[in-house]
Amino acid sequence: MSKKFDYSLDYAQLDLRAHPELYRVGVGEQGVLLVQPYKAELLPHWRFATPEAARASSERIYAMFLEYLRAGDFVGADMARKFLQMGFTRSRRYANHRGGKKYGGPVPADKKGQSGAHGRAELPRTPEDPVKAESARIFKARWDQAEANEDYARLKREHKARYG
């Protein structure tokens, strides 16, 4: 089993391109807004407010994903993949919850065990926002494309075999 994403590292001071041995894939989007220099490279291109913005953003981030792969940079490719995934998840959140706020206050005592993030109650869904739903569909297609990339899968296996 691979090691979990290590939140104890000082990511603000750490260059994971220089130290890929410290990078752990983790689960889902873990570390997407921490790992440098990739956060600084990818975040300026990440937009999902409209389908047009999502299309341009997902295309640029996917192109960067391919550039990282060509360079043999698994960490960069994985971070680009995480940005594509985050484009999907954030777009879906805004599609389902006006304003993007998914969780409210603490879970009432009689509803314990039904909590979401950090023990907070999930807010009711609003009618789906078709604009954000389309943005989510655009990012999901690129995320799926990244996940299915054979070079990415090979580099991921090699990274996990080498570093855990």
pLDDT digits (tens, 9 = 90+) for 136-155: 999 999 999 999 999 999 99
pLDDT number for residue 118? 62
Q: Which residues of 24-34 are buried (b: 16+ CB within 10 A; e: fewer)?
A: bbbeebbbbeb
pLDDT digits (tens, 9 = 90+) for 117-136: 567 777 777 788 889 999 99
pLDDT number for residue 144? 98
Q: The whole model's pTM is what?
A: 0.86
Cβ atoms of residues 45 and 66 within 8 Å: no
Locus of tokens 């940005």 = 83
Q: 117 lies in a domain?
A: no
Q: 46 lies in a domain?
A: yes
pLDDT number for residue 31? 92
Ranges of residues in the chain with a pLDDT under 70 are: 1-2, 99, 101, 105, 107-118
Q: Would you mind telling me the total number of residues written for the chain in this entry?
A: 164
Q: 57 lies in a domain?
A: yes
pLDDT number for residue 116? 57
pLDDT number for residue 1? 43
Cβ atoms of residues 81 and 155 within 8 Å: no
Residue-range definition of the domain harbouring residue 136? 20-100+129-163
Domain tally, the chain: 1
